[in-house]
Chain A
Amino acid sequence: MLKKIRLLLALVIGFTITCCFLDFAGLTDGWPNLARWQFVPALLAGSLVVVITLLVLTLLFGRIYCSVICPLGIFQDVIAWISKKTNRKKKYAFSREKRLLRYGILGIVILAFLLGGTVLLSLLDPYSAFGRMTVNVFRPVYQGANNLLAGVFNHFGNYTFYHVQIYVLSTASLLIGLLTFGAVGWLAWKHGRTWCNTLCPVGTLWGFLSRYSLWKVTIDRQNCISCGLCERKCKAACIDSREGQIDHSRCVDCFDCLSTCHKQAIHYRFLGKTKPTETSPDSSKRQFVATLAALSLSIPAKALTQAAPLSNSNKAWHKQHPLSPPGSRSAEHLLAHCTACHLCIAKCPSRVLKPALFEYGAGGMMQPKMDFEHGFCNFDCTVCSEVCPNGALLPLSKEEKHKLQMGRVVFVIDNCIVHTDETSCGACSEHCPTQAVSMVPYKNGLTIPSVNPDICVGCGGCEYVCPVRPFRAIYIEGNPVHQQAKAFQEAERKEVILDDFGF
């Protein structure tokens, strides 16, 4: 019974979260944003209700979180299930807890985060790892399937499905997504929940708390004949059937063991407080590793990036600062809150968000930045700020967004077609929502862009559409701290009464 409830909840929650990451057509609009119930995002967003609820849940019932809320946990169960389907003889066996490794990783992740190396937490937070994996690996497959369908339907004149462009968001993010998929998938295939019980910092935290939880899976030693059935079923490898012991720090409350016992010797029940045994990890070793990691992460980004593109026919320029997404307030705020789950990237209808490499420093790797290769930020759109579960992007109203300056426009007249070719263009001004880029008289009746960065919002429409390559004639320089754009001058409204055609 408990197992069935667990399965049902896990399927519903897993399906919902996965769909939210896969969907590009607005099909999941209005679905509950379950990302907000993930622990690390909630912690970073400071949503006390969620954090306290999850803490209480664990202290009462153990690692329910790992079984039904965490999408990466659910993903591993799916993989393990498939593995079991393909190999009926597959069985698990008890293994000893890798305590030093578990707590060591947790310690390093926390330390690195405090020192600005958010990337480690991003890598290991299970929700974010799941998000990245889904967006980088599964989404292209989903889009490919959609394109196949679109091809068939469009052929018959039906446009319910439409083609979408599939492209690599960033090589680094794709590799990390593939690596996560490979590593977590392989571990789950072979060993069940090894990832959760050795590497996952959230798993370690819940593991620590669940030693004290009130309800636990326990073995009734009077009935137990140490047959080992439960142990072989345990994907967390936490049942020592010979000793009749369960390591509650690793039990993820999957309840698979309960129904396997022929002797009714294993139960999930209220135990009250028990005294867990605690040995402190080797702190000096931990400190050493942590310092090393922190050091390596605080190497300035500039030392790592090779900024030497070949200069070409037109004038080269380089952005001093990346553009952080709307609602991020500043690159600093983003760094301290974002675990690179890629939900904003998946939801951006304008395809303007992409994972950063070293633009925010090594610690901010994979966090979203605005990139104008595939699109520009829609003036009226606030989707990314609404979906972020981490509070890294804070909700914006349309009016707030209109006044928000994420970056400032820079015009490079030497690259501009109107200047070099003396022909009309104006694509930049055409796309500018505030006319921070406007066309002013030039020679021979031509008009040329003129910029007013104070009223620029940094949407990147101009940069996106500028036809000049390799270096465009107009680009947006990021604001490290978002500013307020000055209100643009509205033209005077005059009533026009026409009573003639004019020809």
Chain B
Amino acid sequence: MDRREFLKALALTGAAVTMKWDGVMDIMAQENHTSGTYDLVAVMGGEPAEMFRKAIAEFGGIGKFVKAGQKVVVKPNIGWDKVPELAGNTNPELITEIIRQCFDAGAKEVVVFDHTCDDWRKCYQNSGIEEAAKAAGAKVMPAHEESYYREIELPRAKNLKKAKVHTAILDCDVWINVPILKNHGGAKMTISMKNHMGIVWDRGFFHSNDLQQCIADICTIHKPAVLNVVDAYRILKTNGPRGKSEADVVLTKGLFMSPDIVAVDTAATKFFNQIEKMPLEVVGHLAKGEELKIGTMDIDRLNIKRIKI
């Protein structure tokens, strides 16, 4: 019996016992980190909402991250004036499911926004996210104007010592980072860490002051996302982050989830690497993030749950 199988068996037994003895198991789960909770959950082969449900269940439900009465932000990537089929933005079905679960967990309000690259109204509309979010009861907030941002200090950062961050993030109780997995011409990959560029106002500063370092820097924000959910249902393998045509899109039906932002991005990059070559070293912000102690690239040492549907 290898380690993984052993853990699986343990988890299964754990789950079986929980059915009857939740109280007891809760205490056990807290004591024995490796048996009940995972560091990272990866799912393949399902629909976006379905994969999220499976993954979050492995973490013990969204209630582990979102408490009743909290103000929650769900931050997708809505950067481009693209329809969901072109994989420029996070999948709207996934966003719907996350919002729904947040409300189920008792969230007082859920806000969705992104600082877009294309015209924000077109992005919000054509991505399908505005409609999905509103239908699920979330508020959709603009982010196209400097007045929606407030300056904060980033004492742990190297280059980006200060940044104007969207007030939705600064004023919420918790936020969930929901990027889409894409190739990126400048940063090489855009996943959870790069998705932080959508919470800041001045992206030009990033580009002129070592992009990879600034991406890692912004992730040192005092209020990190409680959970990173990487949408890899459709991914953009080439010509990212915008993509030229459907030829750049691959239907991979994946989803990765972790509170550890560097770990989940490392895992997603390795997943991506199976389609297009993408060594971890070239995705500079991963190592820089690890250096700033915001997460680990050493995912082999993590407790990962893999689910194939």
Contacts and interface: CB of A to CB of B under 8 A. Distances in A.
Contact of A159 (B81, B139, B147, B300): B139
A421 B244 contact: no
A503 B299 contact: yes
B136 interface: no
Interface string B236-250: 011101101111101
B interface majority secondary structure: mixed
B282 A496 contact: no
Chain A interface size, as a band, is 35 or more
B23 interface: no
Sorting the interface of chain B by its residue count into under 10, 10 to 19, 20 to 34 or 35 or more gives 35 or more
A378 interface: yes
B293 interface: no
B271 A467 contact: no
A349 B122 CA distance: 9
A400 interface: no
Contacts of B299: 503
Nearest to B117: A431
Interface stretch (A2-10, A39-47, A160-168, A191-199): A160-168
A148 to B, nearest CB: 12
A379 interface: yes
Contact of A467 (B208, B246, B266): B208
A375 B241 CA distance: 18
B115 interface: no
Given A378-B81, A424-B186, A425-B211, A164 B247 contact: no
Which among B81, B241, B304, B306 has the highest number of chain A CB atoms within 10 Å? B81
Contacts of B266: 503
A501 to B, nearest CB: 5
B147 A430 contact: no
B42, B203, B211, B282 interface centre (most CB from chain A within 10 Å): B211
Given A157-B139, A162-B145, A491-B239, A496 B208 contact: no
Interface of A: 26, 157, 159, 162-165, 349-350, 375, 378-381, 417, 421, 423-427, 429-435, 438-439, 445, 447, 465, 467-468, 488, 490-493, 496, 498, 500-503
20 contacts: A163-B142, A378-B119, A417-B207, A423-B211, A423-B212, A424-B186, A424-B210, A424-B212, A426-B186, A426-B187, A430-B184, A432-B242, A438-B239, A467-B208, A488-B244, A490-B244, A491-B245, A493-B247, A498-B254, A502-B274
Given A433-B242, A439-B185, 11 more contacts: A159-B141, A379-B81, A381-B119, A425-B207, A433-B244, A438-B185, A465-B204, A467-B208, A496-B237, A501-B42, A503-B300
